[in-house]
Amino acid sequence: MQLKQLETVWHTVVNGYNLSQAANVLHTSQSSLSKHIAALENQLKTEVFIRQGKRLTGLTPMGESLLPHIESIFAEIRTIENLSLDFNNPQTGTLTIATTHTQARYVLPDVIKQFRERFPKVNLILQQADPETIAQMVIRGQADIGVATESLLHNNYLRCHRYYDWSHRIIVPNDHELAGETEIDLPTLASYPIITYHGGFTGRGAIDQTFTDAGLEPEIVLAALDADVISTYVGLGLGVGIIAEMAFEPRHYPELTAIPVDHFGRFTSWMAVRDDAEIRQYGRAFIDLCQKQFAS
């Protein structure tokens, strides 16, 4: 069994079972990858990929069982490569951070500014995605570090570092009847049209569950990924907003008022790396900068 065969399987999965795209990444031909796959399946005496005609569409049960071991092999290879790079060129390289829009827009800018000042020769890449995709990107080596609230902590392939805790805020126009309130109960909140996040993002699941547990069915008139979008439509009077506390920017939205709310609980954002691999020294420095950000 050759490493090239396992690499072909891994890149084929990572590239959505698109052999042509995987071939471009590996700087080879599609026919060459097909031969590697055929040779591996011949050795294993079973198919690794599900096929529809000539197209690969997924993994067989054997492929599903094989993939975690392949990912572990390449995690070890990346660790060895990183050790060599840190020894020879500790101040240069690429650091890929997979994160949500909320983290990239409202939390990470100060950290990234400090990181760039400290490591000016490191190419920093921010990949924005949903939390589940972020976890998979780290697991598959497409990102060095993942930053998100959901999907990271309870994953056996990831080692998580606590980043910071947060809760939600209610936002309304300054002239709204709720603007002078310091506390808003759930029935009152549910009586207004609500604008908040898409499902799976920034605590939306907890928001929905809290209303459900209270026997309430609020009218969600608009769901968005971005707190800026939510704030904009709240400002237009379309509804009451529920956003993450770190996403409220009074200097950008002076016409809005934020009201603390604890109905939906406290949340923790995490930084995750693969549990069985070591990242570059400057990646560990990035994590350290993040942890110092809220230390005071």
Same domain? For 237 and 283 the reply is no
Residue 148 lies in a domain: yes
pLDDT of residue 154: 82
Same domain? For 187 and 228 the reply is yes
**Residue-wise pLDDT tens digits, 95-142:** 999 999 999 999 999 999 999 999 999 999 999 999 889 998 898 888
Residue 67, pLDDT > 70, answer yes
Domain's final residue, options 72, 105, 127: 72
**Pairing assessment for the beta strands 240-244 and 168-173 based on DSSP bridges:** antiparallel
CATH code where residue 58 lies: 1.10.10.10
Cβ atoms 115, 81 nearer than 8 A: no
Q: What is the pLDDT of the chain when averaged over all its residues?
A: 91
Residue 272 lies in a domain: yes
Instruction: Name the domain count of the chain.
Output: 3
Same domain? For 145 and 197 the reply is no
Residue 86 lies in a domain: no
Across 9-30, average pLDDT: 87
Across 43-61, average pLDDT: 92
Same domain? For 174 and 40 the reply is no
CATH code where residue 96 lies: 3.40.190.10
Residue 18 lies in a domain: yes
> What is the percentage of the chain residues whose pLDDT exceeds 90?
67
Same domain? For 216 and 150 the reply is no
Same domain? For 250 and 272 the reply is no
pLDDT of residue 278: 85
Residue 263, pLDDT > 90, answer yes
Same domain? For 236 and 288 the reply is no
**How far apart are the C-alpha atoms of 129 and 137, rounded to whole Å?**
9
Same domain? For 26 and 96 the reply is no
Same domain? For 141 and 288 the reply is yes
Residue 109 lies in a domain: yes
Same domain? For 38 and 65 the reply is yes
Same domain? For 157 and 285 the reply is yes
> What is the percentage of the chain residues whose pLDDT exceeds 70?
100
Domain's final residue, options 23, 42, 72: 72
Range of the domain at 32: 3-72
> Which element (helix H / strand E) includes 289?
helix 281-293
Same domain? For 151 and 191 the reply is no
Residue 296, pLDDT > 70, answer no
SS3 per-residue string spanning 181-240: CCCCCHHHHHCCCEEEECCCCCCHHHHHHHHHHCCCCCCEEEEECCHHHHHHHHHCCCCE
pLDDT of residue 129: 92
Residue 82 lies in a domain: no
